[in-house]
Amino acid sequence: MNGTERTDVLVVGSGFGGAITAYHLAAGGAKVVVLERGPWLREEEVEHDYKLGSSYTRIFDFVVGDGMNVLGGNCVGGGSMVYFAALPRAPRFVFERHGSIGRRMWPAAISRDTLDPWYDRVAEAIPVSTQDWKDVTYAGGLWAAACAHAGRTANPVPVGVDNASCTRCNWMMAGCRFGAKRSLLTNYLPAALAHGAQIRPLHEVQRISRTGDDRYRVHYDVIDGEDYRVRTGSGEIDAKIVVLAAGAGATPVILQRSEAALGRMPHAVGRYFSGNGERLCTAVMNEDRVREVLGLTRGDGAAYEAFHIGKGPCVANWDRLDASRPEYTRYSLEQLYFPPGLGTILAQAPRASGPGAWFGPEKKEMLRRWRSWLIIFEMVEDDNEGVFGPPPPAGNAVRISQQLLGRGTLRYRPSPSTLRAWEAADADVRDILERDGLAEVAPWTGDLVGAYTVHPLASCRIGDDPATSALDDRHELRGHPGIFVTDGSAVPGALTVNPAMTIAALAERAVPGIVRAARERGVPVTYGAPAPDGATAGRRGTAAQVPLLARG
């Protein structure tokens, strides 16, 4: 594309933070362009295989760091295409956390009470379903039964899934070809398009500079649709407002690369990264003991053997989400289906040690019994230990393969507090699943290749203290008026639950301030759009906060 385009608002990324802001700003009358690094896949293009070049490798981004590996979305719809649609709200105590800085991490203006109306808006727009036990899969039922046997509770997880349409194919993480998962392709993004927003896939933003007329210039490369290492073109778009929503693994990299042109970035850009305290444990269930101890059967001669039949996480144990407990001892334990591929390679075999845990005879036996697996997803309170190094020449990582895999600059060394939290959660999982010989449990260790996260957070976080937060409480980048960050990187720290609902609620909350900033820069935009389907109940719930958020 020749020359420099102009728009009112440029949104980088089309996940929760980008789609929500794009919709509201377009509905309010602004000219909005959304640049998305990944491809645009329709439902019918989602493929159920693991071949290189299929949708499975095209819409994921797996970045290997130093001590932390990040798996995220790389497509129109972002994380909403590749998540398991679990949408719990963060516990009340999360907003009072101190973490590593020794004082409240979250801005004083945000608490569970003040965020609840924005949660309600998201629940109205997606919408969020409260699952019943009849919706629970075999794996979820097994986890619930084991929790009950151990004297623990189990809770169906709220989800963005149309249960009536779900086929329980268990390919949800690779997108849904049956229209059951309520990704952003079913709500905010089509609504944004209907109001004139443009969405451009395979456009990777590299940096931001300033123009001479109080605008920002966004520099991008066009990415080849087959080999993401190949750049087929480049361009520039000038905008009065820039909304960064490229994800917690990419947004800070864009800002780091922009520092030479924009001027000094806040200290917290690229620091305080959190993996949401995530860790996986694999249990290999003893089918005989499942039948004898829990009294379960599928009716076909098997007690369980149903790891692959389901739809992602549907049951969680939240007994440790107790505000009276000390920080770093609160966590959730959620049943999770982690698909073959990375799961079969990285899951550690019980009773094995060293390389044999991944490649020895114990691992071979574990893989033979893969239908009897149960994976438990731990989300603890971590210490925001991650720091990004100097940015790579282009993109958020150096691409190793034509799709999926890259090497990034994130360095993560878990603190003693984080390690103790993981140890406590591991012990809890063992107490529940190894009781009476039900299973053998082994955590996915970080000793060999580091920790993993599918929910990166906090690398450009909001806060009241300029020394430890990159954004103010309305998500504007400190020292750079007109640049906002609305993705997971804005979340101050680990949430102890799946973060999509909180990221979305914060993005909804950020919009009035973005509208105010746009109007100050001469953009004729208003605030007040209903939910994408026209519902207005949620809008009434947030009305009292809007004047405060839109203040000058």
Stretch 180-196: mean pLDDT, rounded?
Answer: 97
Residue 372 near residue 307 (C-beta atoms within 8 A): yes
Percent of residues, the chain, with pLDDT higher than 90: 82
Q: Which residues contact 335 (CB under 8 A, 6 or more apart)?
A: 139, 140, 142, 143, 313, 314, 315, 316, 374, 375, 376, 377
Q: Are 408 and 70 in contact (CB under 8 A)?
A: yes
Report yes or no: 10 and 216 within 8 Å, Cβ to Cβ.
yes
Q: Where are the beta strands (DSSP E) in 369-525?
A: 373-379, 387-388, 398-399, 404-411, 439-443, 451-453, 483-485
Confidence grade of residue 342 (pLDDT, cut at 50, 70, 90):
low
Distance of alpha carbon 343 from alpha carbon 281, whole angstroms: 11
Q: Give Cα separations from 409 to 58, 102, 136, 270, 388 (angstroms).
A: 22, 27, 39, 10, 5
Residues near 149 by beta carbon (within 8 Å), at least 6 away in sequence = 293, 294, 432, 435, 436, 438
Average pLDDT over residues 444-470: 91
- pLDDT of 364 reads 87
Q: Which pair of tokens denotes residue 530?
A: 């209903």
Average pLDDT (22-51) is: 94
Cβ–Cβ under 8 Å, residues 62 and 408: no
Tokens at residue 13, please?
Answer: 């990324």
pLDDT band for 360, please (50, 70, 90 cuts): confident
Any idea which residue has 């939910």 for tokens?
Answer: 531
Per the CB < 8 A criterion, the answer to whether 159 and 314 are in contact is: yes
Rounded Cα distance, 548 and 550, in Å: 5
Strand pairing class (198-200; 32-35)? parallel
Burial 286-311 (b: 16+ CB within 10 A, else e): bbeebeebbebeeeeebbbbbbbbbb
Mean pLDDT along residues 247-263: 98
Of 163-177, 285-299, 456-470, which gets the smallest average pLDDT? 163-177
Helix (H) or strand (E) holding 32: strand 32-35
Helices 16-27 and 500-520, packing angle to 10 deg: 40
74-132 per-position pLDDT tens digit: 999 999 999 999 999 999 999 999 998 989 999 999 999 999 999 999 999 999 988 88
| Residues belonging to the chain | 552
Spell 84-114 as b/e; 16+ CB within 10 A means b. bbbbbbbbebbbebebebeebbbbebbebeb
Q: How far apart are CA 167 and CA 129, in angstroms?
A: 16
- The lowest-confidence range among 162-166, 239-243, 352-356, 440-444 is 352-356
| Domain-wise residue ranges, the chain | 5-337+371-543
Mean pLDDT across 254-272: 98
Taking only the tens place, the pLDDT of each residue in 227-252 is: 999 999 999 999 999 999 999 999 99
**What pLDDT is stored for residue 1 in this prediction?**
43
Please tell me the predicted confidence (pLDDT) of residue 347: 82
Q: Would you tell me how many other CB atoms lie within 10 Å of the CB of residue 544?
A: 10
* Residue 466 reports pLDDT greater than 80: yes
What value does the mean pLDDT take over residues 395-412?
A: 96
- pLDDT per position as a tens digit, 283-312: 999 999 999 999 999 888 899 999 988 888
Phi then psi for residue 79, to 5 deg, are: -60, -25
pLDDT grade for 340, boundaries at 50, 70 and 90: low
pLDDT above 90: residue 544: yes
Q: What is the dihedral of CA 10, 13, 15, 20, to 10 degrees?
A: 0
What's the whole-number mean pLDDT along residues 187-195? Answer: 98
Rounded average pLDDT over 363-388: 94
Per-residue pLDDT tens digits for 474-526: 999 999 999 999 999 999 999 999 999 999 999 999 999 999 999 999 999 99
Distance (Å, whole) CA 479 – CA 470: 9
Mean pLDDT estimate for the chain: 94
Q: Would you say domain 5-337+371-543 falls under CATH 3.50.50.60?
A: yes
Question: Looking at the DSSP assignment, which residues form a beta bridge with residue 333?
Answer: 317, 378
Reduce the DSSP state of residue 177 to 3 states and report it: coil
| Whole-angstrom distance, CA of residue 386 vs CA of residue 97 | 18
